[in-house]
Every structure is written in C-alpha cells, then in structure tokens.
C-alpha cells in the first residue's frame, strides 16, 4: 500500500521534482565555479595577494557554517522562492572551489614558475600554460566537493520554497510516509554519487595525463 502510494507520487511529481533539483544544482554549481575561479585566481594576483592569509582563513571558517544555517539566513533577507535558494547554494558552493583554487595555485613549485619566466614567457602565458594546468587537479577536487555539497544543500533549500527532491523528503517526514522520504533520499543520494564519481573520474584522467 505504502509502496504503491510512493510510486504514484513518483509518477505524479517525482520526475518533475528531480528535474527541478537538477536545475537548482546545475545553475548554482555553474555560478559557483565561475565566481570561485575568478575570485580564487584574483586573490593570488598582485593587488589582492596582500590579503591572502585573511581570505584563506575566512574561507576555512565559512566552510564550518552548517548548511541549514546558510539556507535559513536567506529567508529573512530575500524571502521565499527559487532565487534566494540559488543565491544561498551558490555562495555555499563557491567556498571549497575558491579555497582549492588558491591552494592549487599557491602549491606550485616556485622553481617551475621561475623556469617559465626564465624562458621568457609573458605572465599571461605563465598563467595559462603553467599555473592553471598544474593547479587543475586540485581545482577539480574542489568542484567535486562543491557538487556534493550543493546536491545536499539543495534538498534543504526546499525549506525556503525552492522545490526539488527536498519536497519529497520533507513531505514524507511530515506526513510520516517513510517510502516517499526513502524515494527522495535515494534519488538525491544517486545524483550526489553520480556527480562525485563522474567528477572524480575526470580528475583522475587529468592527473594521470600530467604524470605520463
């Protein structure tokens, strides 16, 4: 009976909510990647690198803020809906990417940079041909962390009216329909695992290419 009902719910709204969830994740993740890359890279450049230690410790500290708090704080500020959810998800998701971008670029052996400059590379080329490729595996690891984080936080974003799979999970919990909760949870877990494994695969491919 319960299982049947769950499948009915799946047929009626399940796929719609799944697509909604994927949209939320897709938009927020893309925005996070773009903003975090620009932010992370500019922090390692000349006028901003003075504040690097402060920025890095801020990013580390901000990472400790629980996801429920991040989502909830946007309700009083921006109200209910998809937009505040996307803003919250984007801000939360850009932390690991920005941190890894900075760490990846900072972690490059200074001798390599010196060699590149010594060969007469303009700083633009040093960035595109040396720094970015070498930092890429670390940056992608950050994107992987962020993707998983955003999938999970997008569930919670339903609390401020974003829709998505969180609706199934919270409806199930509130009405005590464990199968509906299970359904939503399994779908969300599936998305997270697929994204995690997929990005991990890309990262391994890129890393091994540099090792050869």
Residue linked to tokens 């877990």:
189
Question: Are the C-beta atoms of residues 56 and 99 closer than 8 Å to each other?
Answer: yes
Closest to other proteins by CB, 86 or 184? 184
Q: Between residues 44 and 67, which has the closer beta carbon with respect to other proteins?
A: 67
For residues 106 and 125, which CB has a smaller minimum distance to other proteins in the complex?
106
Least separation in angstroms between residue 118's CB and other proteins is: 28
| Closer CB to other proteins, 47 or 110, in the complex | 110
Q: Given the rule CB under 8 A, which residues bind other proteins?
A: 60-61, 63-70, 72-73, 75-76, 99-100, 103-104, 107, 138, 141, 144-145, 148-149, 151-153, 155-156, 159-160, 166, 169-170, 172-173, 178-179, 181-182, 184-186, 188-189, 192-193, 195-196
Place of tokens 């990647």: 33
Side-chain-side CA neighbours of residue 49 (13 Å): 8
Burial (CB < 10 A; 0-12, 13-18, 19+), residue 70, is: buried
CB 206 within 8 Å of CB 139? no
List CB contacts of 39: < 8 A, sequence separation 6 or more. 94, 98, 101
**Residue 70: CB minimum distance to other proteins, A:** 8
Q: Which two tokens stand for residue 127?
A: 């960035």
How near is the Cβ of 189 to other proteins at its closest, in Å?
4
Closest CB 212 distance from other proteins, rounded Å: 22
**Structure token digits, residue 4:** 């049947």
Cβ closer to other proteins: 67 or 113? 67
Q: How far is the CB of 11 from other proteins (least distance, A)?
A: 20
- Please give the structure tokens belonging to residue 106: 């900072």
């Amino acid at each position: 009976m319960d299982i049947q009902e769950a499948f009915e719910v799946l047929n009626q709204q399940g796929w719609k909510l799944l697509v909604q969830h994927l949209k939320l994740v897709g938009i927020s993740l893309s925005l996070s990647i773009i903003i975090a890359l620009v932010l992370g890279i500019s922090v390692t450049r000349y006028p901003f690198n003075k504040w690097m230690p402060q920025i890095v410790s801020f990013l580390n500290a901000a990472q400790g803020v629980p996801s429920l708090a991040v989502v909830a704080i946007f309700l009083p500020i921006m109200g209910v809906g998809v937009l505040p959810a996307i803003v919250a998800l984007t801000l939360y998701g850009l932390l690991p990417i920005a941190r890894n971008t900075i760490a990846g670029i900072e972690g490059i052996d200074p001798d390599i940079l010196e060699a590149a400059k010594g060969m007469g590379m303009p700083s633009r080329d040093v960035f595109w041909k040396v720094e970015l490729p070498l930092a890429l595996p670390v940056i992608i690891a950050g994107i992987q962390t962020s993707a998983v984080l955003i999938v999970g936080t997008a569930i919670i974003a339903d609390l401020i009216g974003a829709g998505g799979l969180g609706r199934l999970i919270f409806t199930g919990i509130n009405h005590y329909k464990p199968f509906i909760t299970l359904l939503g949870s399994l779908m969300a877990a599936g998305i997270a695992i697929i994204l995690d494994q997929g990005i991990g695969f890309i990262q391994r491919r890129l890393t091994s290419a540099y090792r050869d």
